Structure 1
Amino acid sequence: MKRLSHACMATLLCLGVSSAQANDNPISNRQALLDGPGTAKQKLRDSGVDLDLRYTNFQQNLSGATDGNGSQNGGRGDLVMNFDGEKLGLWKGFSVNLRHTMVHGQANFNRGFGQNGVLLPYNTAMVFPRENETSLNVTQKFNDTVSISAGKFDMFALSEAAPLQGGSGMDTFTNLGIAAAINGLVSPYTTGVMLNVNTSKALMSFMVYDPRNTQGDNGRPISHTFEDGTSAMANITLPISIAGRMGYHTFNATASDQKHPNLRTGEPVNRRWFGGYSFQQFLQHDADDPSKGWGLFGRIGVTDRNPNFIARHFMLGIGGNNLMQGRKDDMWGVAYAAYDLSHEIVDPTWPTAIRNEQMAEAYYNFAVFPWLRVSPNVQLVRPLDRSRNDEVVLGIRTQLRF
């Protein structure tokens, strides 16, 4: 991993020298600092290698930290490379996706479930990954409708493209309970195979994957994949327009036969399941770019409740792009979420030291330039631990795209 991290830094320096010489675009217009006509990045893209480099820094302050980490700072660099097989002289429809993440200061943040009395960490991007990590998967696109992908997946990265709410803690919301649907059956990094079928009436994905977390030291060679069981997931998204405004309605079903202990008896149980529904509904589109706009989004989900310790969750929010002239690259959002724990853990008939957790968050992502973003945010969290007061978290996220 260290060699790959050093190689990433060397690549960035080389690109910087080349781009400084070749890029005649005004700095304020560039989508990425080192990108533009005639640059090394553009030449790479034309030859079949699309390169994205980002560095994101996080500063957040907790009102009631008890472990000495009231002020938390850290950051991560993300290198994403997409290889186009046809442009590289291989064959049509074949592509490779490589993502390498380098983190620093991650030990400063709430990284464990239950730290500071909170079930879900305040900062998704600084909790996953827990150390420098790489994902790699290959895709074969057969036509405009069907494709198959296989390899090691960064599951948070897969959610980044979702309209209105997507971002996996990097662009929109930071709290894990809002930025990602936690259901207990999907690990942050996993190995598997995914089938995508996209038509004008429905977008469908079906995935069979290893239920283990294949991140860091937990990962084992490909030969051990599925030795602890198998998980499967199906997503069906229906694009539905209401009054000329686009909306997306997604139904999810996930199941696993990996053994987990019964929450009450401790006996192994080899069945877990999750079912969920989510939506994103635009209320206003940009007249010049329909992909931009703002609207409502939300999700609900239920689980088996045992051995899964999360029984159900609910989230509702509003946000998207600021459509004021000159500020259309800005993003904003306000959301609330609640996570109910299994009655095997929280029994309403007897006193308990823990309770269901709730959180609310508001953010504004200010595009100083398209390649430089500053995002202040505030969170209000009612912790899992009943003895803890409501937590106020103030944060600011700064992102550079090279």
Structure 2
Amino acid sequence: MIKYLFVLILLYLSQAKRIKQTYLIRSLRDWHYISKFGAETGEVFYSLTFRFKNVEENDERTIPIQYELFLDEEWPNAIEKAECDRSNVARRKETIQVPVNSEFEFKGSLTAKVRAHLWYFAFSDCEKILRNSFPVESKVKLDVELHITNVGGTEFTLEQFGILQIIGIIALIDVIMLIYNGNQILEKQRKYEEFSLPLFLLVITLLLETFSYCFLTIHLWIYSENGAGSLLLQVLSVIFQVASQFSLTMILVMLSWGWQINFSKFDNFELFIPISILVGFFQIIIVGVSFIDYDAYYKDHQYEGWVGWLAALIYIGEFVYFMNGLVDTYNKQNTKIQQFILLLGLYGGVYFISFPVLQTVNLFTARYVRYKVMEIGTMLFRTSAILLLTRLFTSKKSIFAQISIENKSFLDRNKDE
């Protein structure tokens, strides 16, 4: 499972707006989708490079390949048609003569005057000229490389505009919370000779998330310059993101089942081992399915379609388990603790329900903003949940400070002060 996930991650991370696809000639269909691009208002430049592989050195032929460009307005109609009828609704189509023994680069531009658009790139071989140019048993391949630069020369697609700055701000907020929570741990240790394990685990969660966002920010900055980014930084960002989500989920689940209320030590932690394994498995599934068919024409973000609803179902399942624990703990406690449980349910619900809510909201948004809604939305909700938990754990007037069996009593603290 881990090996499969890692392969999916590498396949996804190799995709930027320098798209490279390789096709075995004998396996070609009549029509092939290459990629899509969100173009801002103005002029956008692109280049298509074709090259044949595993061909004879003395082959001096040129072979015609038709590339096609579709505008988002016509795309739904095009995809409903038979493959060889789609060119009838293409906004632009052109036949390129590609030499067998050398690569050929075709350069073009797109201009949007009224509003931003999504453009879809494809090529076709409906006359079967390409397939009939080589023996059936041959291993000739066709490399197709697409490079697009947006208005102003940036490598970002329309969906990614502004996301670098937003992620940078969220990362800065995480750093501030990390410093604040770390200081709270040291202050409690010095003043009350206490070690707050919930706060410590929250700091670990913040640290993992901060690393994830910092790696992602640097990668996006490099991406904006070369259209490819850094594979290493992307892999590290994903790994730390999965670890952060797992940590936050386990904190909420353990609290919901009475940790720090009915028990504080990990003497009974073996009870949480099965659920921790299950949560870890689900987090890997959520990340893994997001890489399936990442650049498919029907996906405006990595959780588009059935993979997003599967991930939403997993989050809802975790939320149901979380709420079940809260109800069980709630029924066994007094009024003061019940107030804390209600707050925890509210704060935890922000985290668990945010993904299904965003997935639903995206049903009603324009295609070129869905990426931002999902990516920025999940980051903001996750950061908000951590911020709310920070307030819950650190505020001297919070209910948690009064009921946690790991701390001194609230009255004793007041006496010390």
State the TM bucket, normalised to the shorter chain: under 0.3
Tell me which protein shows more helix as a share of its residues. Answer: 2
Between Structure 1 and Structure 2, whose CA radius of gyration is higher?
2
- Structure with more relative contact order (C-alpha pairs < 8 Å, separation 6 or more): 2
